[in-house]
Amino acid sequence: MASLSEKIKVKALEIGFQEIGFARAEALTEEGARLGEWLARDFHGEMAWLGREPEKRSDPRLIFPGAKSVIVLLLNYYTPHEHVPGPGLGKVSRYAWGDDYHDIVKNKLRELLEWIKTEVPGADGKVCVDTAPIMDKAWAVRAGLGWLGKHTNLITKEYGSWVFIGEIIVNFELDHAPEIVPDHCGTCTACLDACPTGAIVAPFLVDSKACLSYATIELRASEFSPEISENLEGWLYGCDICQDVCPWNRFQKPAGEPDFEPRGGETSIDLDEVLSLSPEKYAERFRRTAIKRAKLGGLQRNARALKKKP
């Protein structure tokens, strides 16, 4: 007879997840200490929320009292398209080409949790995507789904790093014996060498303040520093350089999820269009996409900086 963990895995794959693993709900002591050191070095920049209640980020029992297990799930988002090159266009990070992944992943997690509740008497749980105070990548490693690359993204042997991570924290025990995947980056430094701003200051360590993704999405300043503006390399929203050069992404596979396909076939956006947007048109244009995270002012700042490039 299949175990409960095996049944949950079968259902998760049926719902559309590619990988699933289980871990004991306990404090991430070492990972929490590293987070504290990263925060102390101010590598989080303006992302002040990362510094609030860091103890919650490293202990799921503080997020969901009664937690016994963490179910970690991966959803492949790779679609086989390339950026449209050309003057006057700004590149968009692959994860934001389609519909907002928060909604897609969360809906699948909720569907799985509701099914679990019908299978396990008294079962309850909390669904988490990356907006919850939880260390997604650390839990994926704990659950045996991959390893943390030198660019600090999760890497899997099966799908490379093009995966979204979600969790369900539950109040019952599951099989907690994952085979931890060892680091397979070896001596490779492709991501460090390719980063145009040197944001990967050391293997497994990123200074967000120098990262193009942070600058074009999270930063609220009205203008970029010269170090950012001179090294945008055409990026309007986000940056995929460290993932594009990663040798493990030769194992990327098409997601098969229609909602991850580029909206309107767009992988790059016309800069003049961005600069002409009113708040109303902006809200309509990017409704239910991750791009709205940058706000209209941020996206137009990015477009102005790209327009200044020779």
| Helix axes 101-119 and 4-15, enclosed angle (nearest 10) | 140
DSSP 8-state symbol, 183: P
Closest CA to 35 of 54, 53, 59, 48: 54
Model pLDDT for residues 182-217, shown as the tens digit of each residue? 999 999 999 999 999 999 999 999 999 999 999 999
Amino acid at 30: E
Report whether pLDDT(84) > 90.
no
Tell me which of 310 and 82 has the higher pLDDT: 82
pLDDT, residue 176, reads: 81
Summarize the confidence of residues 225-238 as an average pLDDT.
Answer: 97
Report whether pLDDT(22) > 70.
yes
Q: Is the pTM of this model over 0.85?
A: yes
Residues in the chain: 310
Report whether pLDDT(234) > 80.
yes
Summarize the confidence of residues 69-76 as an average pLDDT.
Answer: 98
Q: Which of 98-102, 198-202, 236-240, 253-257 has the lowest mean pLDDT?
A: 253-257
47: phi then psi, degrees, rounded to nearest 5: -80, 70
Confidence of residue 130 (pLDDT cuts 50, 70, 90): confident
How far apart CA 134 and CA 58 sit, in angstroms, is: 7
Closest CA to 159 of 238, 254, 82, 94: 254
pLDDT, residue 25, reads: 97
Report whether pLDDT(1) > 70.
no
pLDDT, residue 310, reads: 64
pLDDT, residue 86, reads: 82
How far apart CA 63 and CA 135 sit, in angstroms, is: 12
Summarize the confidence of residues 27-38 as an average pLDDT.
Answer: 95
How far apart CA 66 and CA 25 sit, in angstroms, is: 9
How far apart CA 146 and CA 76 sit, in angstroms, is: 13
Summarize the confidence of residues 279-292 as an average pLDDT.
Answer: 97
pLDDT, residue 131, reads: 78
Q: State the first-to-last Cα distance of the chain, in angstroms, to the nearest integer.
A: 66
DSSP 8-state symbol, 56: H
Share of residues in the chain with pLDDT > 70 (%): 99
Highest mean pLDDT among 55-59, 132-136, 301-305: 301-305
Annotated catalytic residue 130? yes
The DSSP bridge pattern shows strands 89-92 and 235-237 to be parallel
pLDDT, residue 35, reads: 95
pLDDT, residue 117, reads: 98
Say if residues 60 and 31 touch (Cβ distance below 8 Å).
Answer: no
- Out of 103, 130, 259, 270, pick the active-site residue: 130
DSSP 8-state symbol, 95: G
